[in-house]
Amino acid sequence: MNIGIVGLPNVGKSTLFKALTKKQVDIANYPFCTIDPNVGVVKVPDERLARLAELSHSAKIVPTSIEFVDIAGLVKGASQGEGLGNKFLSHIREVDAIAHVVRVFHDKNIIHVAGEPKPIEDIDVINLELIFADMATLEKRIGATKSQMKSGKTRILEEQLCIYEKVYTCLESGAPANRLDLSDEEKETTRDLHLLTLKPFLYVLNVDEEMGSCSVSRRESAPDLISEIEQRLAGYTIVALCAQAEADMADLSDEEVRELGMKRTGLDTFITVAYKLLDLITFLTTGPDETRAWTIRNGTKAPQAAGVIHTDFEKGFIRAETINWKDLVDAGGEVAAKEKGLIRLEGKEYIVRDGDVMVFRFSV
């Protein structure tokens, strides 16, 4: 599961990526400098791990991770092959979700492709390119479906056509397809089209350092421009951060960050919401060897969750001793939690919840 970092050139995508991975990538002050997408595997911050590790006297902590892809700048006309157009669009097609970086910061030394950053217009430029690309994909499919129907109308084809047209109408109105509340069945029908705007979106506002890193949901602290953007993007997840400050902090120790009065919250918030956007949740295992976070898709049942650790755990699954991490910490440990009857025995149909601490019983 991965997230593609998308946006106009020079908005701070590579800077954000560098902050994420602490891995030096090619950052230069001109468009199209990033041609091949860079992939970075990033630790997901999780406060629960340290708390559990303390409780279990674990020798080590193993966080879970997600993958970010730094995709080079999209420009107006990309869907017509402008810039490095089609290549970029095909990179976007390969990611599971899109983090759209929007330049809000001011810096006259850094060229903006359209003269000056106008965040709302910039958002539309990118979204329109993605929408145009999807419309082209759908036009082909609608045409093919119609000609298939000429040689034999079936109910399935009619239903498919109806769904394709519904999505097309949405795009035509200028809205991304993820604005539609498609049923699971409708999503299944459109899956093989790999539509760009059907992927989940999140917006990263790259703000001036003085604006600080904040979650935009704390509206009272957000400046006017951000409120305006927030209204425009109602319904989508938005994170405001200063990519440059986050990248600078990536090279500092925790102590130095504290001394400078800075906070890493922006980047951590971004990683956390990206993880949620992918519909991923974490379950935990803890013991003297290690405390570890494991990633599963929301809705995964216990045996399949066990299978993430080891295929034998899934094949020979019997049951899972399960407790919420906070209950375990509050109880003061496994023994006390057992005495209090807080550890549940869950079977094959149990749907694992975020924050479950699990011990799998299995036989092979």
Ligand X SMILES: Nc1nc2c(ncn2[C@@H]2O[C@H](COP(=O)(O)OP(=O)(O)O)[C@@H](O)[C@H]2O)c(=O)[nH]1
CB of 209 to ligand X, least distance (A): 7
3-state SS of the chain is CEEEEECCCCCCHHHHHHHHHCCCCCCCCCCCCCCCCEEEEEECCCHHHHHHHHHHCCCEEECCEEEEEECCCCCCCHHHCCCCHHHHHHHHHCCCEEEEEEECCCCCCCCCCCCCCCHHHHHHHHHHHHHHHHHHHHHHHHHHHHHHHHCCCCHHHHHHHHHHHHHHHHHHCCCCHHHCCCCHHHHHHHHHHCCHHHCCEEEEEECCHHHCCEECCCHHHCCHHHHHHHHHCCCCEEEEECHHHHHHHHCCCHHHHHHCCCCCHHHHHHHHHHHHHCCEEEEEEECCCEEEEEEEECCCEHHHHHHHHCHHHHHCEEEEEEEEHHHHHHHCCHHHHHHCCCCEEECCCCECCCCEEEEEEECC
Q: Which is nearer to ligand X, 13 or 301 (CB)?
A: 13
CB of 159 to Mg ion, least distance (A): 42
Closest of 269, 258, 356 to residue 306, by C-alpha: 356
CA-wise closest residue to 224 among 211, 215, 237, 235: 211
15 binds, options Mg ion, ligand X, none, Cβ within 5 to 8 A by partner type = ligand X
Contact call for residues 238 and 7 (beta carbons, < 8 A) = no
Q: Which of left, alpha, beta for 174 (phi over 0: left; psi -120 to 50: alpha)?
A: left
Chain positions 64 to 103 lying near Mg ion, rule: CB under 5 A, are none
Task: Give the footprint of ligand X on this chain (CB under 6 A).
Answer: 7, 9-15, 27, 29, 34, 73, 105, 107, 110, 206, 242-244
Give the nearer residue to Mg ion in terms of CB position, either 5 or 293.
5
At closest approach, how far in Å is the CB of 9 from ligand X?
Answer: 4
Kindly tell me which of 13 and 48 has the beta carbon lying closer to ligand X. Answer: 13
The nearer residue to ligand X, 109 or 147, going by C-beta atoms, is 109
10 binds, among ligand X, Mg ion, none (CB under 5 to 8 A by kind): ligand X
Cβ at position 166, least distance to ligand X in Å: 34
330 has which bridge partners?
Answer: none
Q: Rule CB under 5 A: which of 5-64 touch Mg ion?
A: 13-14, 34
Per partner kind, with CB cut-offs from 5 to 8 A, the member of Mg ion, ligand X, none near residue 312 is none
Q: Which is nearer to Mg ion, 27 or 193 (CB)?
A: 27
* Least distance (Å) between residue 99 CB and ligand X: 12
Question: Which of the choices Mg ion, ligand X, none does residue 295 contact, using the CB cut-off of 5 to 8 A by kind?
Answer: none
Q: How far is the CB of 110 from ligand X (least distance, A)?
A: 4
Our CB check for Mg ion shows the closer of 34 and 244 to be: 34
* Residue count, binding to Mg ion (CB under 5 A): 3
**Partner whose footprint covers residue 11, from ligand X, Mg ion, none (CB < 5 to 8 Å by kind):** ligand X
Give me the least distance between CB of 16 and ligand X, in Å please.
Answer: 7
Q: Tell me which of Mg ion, ligand X, none is bound by residue 96, counting a contact when its beta carbon lies within the kind-specific cut-off of 5 to 8 angstroms.
A: none
Q: Which two tokens stand for residue 286?
A: 């803890």
CB of 208 to ligand X, least distance (A): 7
Of 4 and 9, which has the nearer Cβ to ligand X? 9
- Residue 243 binding result from Mg ion, ligand X, none, given CB thresholds of 5 to 8 Å by partner type: ligand X
Question: Pick from ligand X, Mg ion, none: which does 12 bind, CB < 5 to 8 A by kind?
Answer: ligand X
Contacting residues toward Mg ion, per CB under 5 A: 13-14, 34
